[in-house]
């Protein structure tokens, strides 16, 4: 469960960073790319939030503590 959460958090972070870069790199005249960047950023944030909530609601307390404090076995 923790490995899946980490993978989805990394994927969500990459999507959010791509959206942030597209949002800031495009000129004011390229409104379509700014909108696409904003949408990617929001999708990435929702992926991260979903991974965290999945671990919180479906994981065990031990897994949650390991994730929160980066503890090893």
Instruction: List, for residues 1-28, the tens digit of each pLDDT value.
Output: 677 888 888 999 999 999 999 888 866 6
The CA-atom distances, in angstroms, between 69 and each of 7, 16, 39, 65 are: 17, 23, 31, 6
CB 12 within 8 A of CB 44: yes
Instruction: List, for residues 37-66, the tens digit of each pLDDT value.
Output: 999 999 999 999 988 888 788 777 777 677
Query: Using CB atoms within 10 A of its CB, is residue 51 exposed (0-12), middle (13-18) or buried (19+)?
Result: buried
Which residue, chain included where needed, has tokens 């005249």?
Answer: 29
């Amino acid at each position: 469960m923790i490995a899946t959460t980490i993978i989805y958090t990394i994927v969500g972070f990459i999507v959010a960073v791509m959206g942030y870069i597209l949002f800031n790199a495009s000129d004011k005249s390229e409104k379509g790319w700014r909108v696409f960047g904003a949408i990617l950023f929001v999708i990435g944030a929702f992926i991260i939030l979903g991974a965290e909530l999945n671990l919180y609601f479906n994981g065990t307390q031990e897994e949650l503590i390991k994730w929160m404090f980066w503890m090893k076995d």
